[in-house]
Structure 1
Amino acid sequence: MNRPARLVTAAFTASAALLLTACGSGDDNASSDKIKGADTGGGTTASASPTASTAPEGIDRPEITLPKEFQADFAGWTNSDPKLQAILDDGREELRSQYAAVTDADPNSEAVAFYNSEATLPTTQKWIKQFVDDDETLIGKVRVFDPQVSIGDSGSGVLFYCVDERQASTKDRKTGEVTKTPDKPESVIQYRINLGKSPQGVWKAESVNVVPGACG
């Protein structure tokens, strides 16, 4: 079955609704459009490779590989504070793990489980499985930019970032039919994520709120 509105943006919006139902929108720190102490990189642009992970060393992390047909370019994902950079690194890999799971047709991806808590993992897997059930993959490119990061009073991490999906599409694996993402403001999405640090030192997603059009 090829859904008429089976677009990247539509799928992410549905995923957000599922996550919010299961987890809530997170703590109050994640409800503001600006995060105290956030560093957006001062105009510095750093792009992650479309095929290989660039995760920090010291932890045995799963390798995340994206195909040449789909790229995720991360702009300005640097911070002078090592603690905040660690949140940025794990937040980036969490998103990349979802993209890789879709392109690999693997809802039980080890990497997705690695970067998601028990609160967000079931609904994240359900979102990925929608693509698998429809025999669809992702092609094109997304730009991930304007990261804002902080550590709350409780020690939890707060990460906002924007994803421009207007150059991304879904593709039917059997027929090759491509469904493009609409060139509209709603196709630029803001992710608002709360993360908790595991005993192993990994920042895992604990709640996710996705807001289409919130990036201006």
Structure 2
Amino acid sequence: MAENINGDLLLHSHPVEIYRACDSMFEGEAWLNWEPETLLMALEGEVSPQAEDKLLAVQSAASNSSFPLVDSTAFEKLVLAWCNCICVMDARQPPYVEEMCYAVRELCRFIRTVHGADADVAFSGDVPGYVAAVGRFRDWIVLPPELSFAQENLSSLTGLVPQSPLYAEHRQVVDMVSELYASLDKVTAEELLHDPEIKSLERDNGAGADMIKRIVGALLYDPTL
């Protein structure tokens, strides 16, 4: 069985693919309840710390899917592990917004793969506040659609709340981004990059164009490539 899973494969695979591979390899075995050391023994060859963290994060998310939805530490470490970063368990490691965007998209797909298409995926607890704090730290004012559950928190942190002077100052940028979200229906990187509206915005050198480019980057970010 072990020849089907190695460190390089883990780093170039999405969490759902890793879960399905493990479920197939360990068919009939309770691998979700194994100790970390037992699961890691199934890996062959030299395995990087990033690959180990990613595999264990997949196991953890499958066995306790609600934890990263409500706990900011679990959320942070899952984001880092699924983005092929080394996790330092006793320290805060603010990820990038692009990494959170990817991980949230994958976690929603992951939970519905493990628990069924109708599984509810809602972020609560201290996760929205944490995502907003990271967004503020990374100098974002409008979050990508996947992270919209934290937008109200971020707006409170930045002061960009309706009727505020700061909101009035940046309203054009906020409205531009909001309109893009509402009209964006492209599903592939190639389609998104060649979208006429995106290309027209790229010709603008203002703050709005810069924000649009960052959002497009977040939507296209994929650590497995």
Give the TM-score of the pair, scaled to structure 2.
0.25
| Greater relative contact order (CA < 8 Å, ≥ 6 in sequence) | 1
Larger strand fraction of residues: 1
Larger helix fraction of residues: 2
Give 1 or 2 for the bigger CA radius of gyration: 2
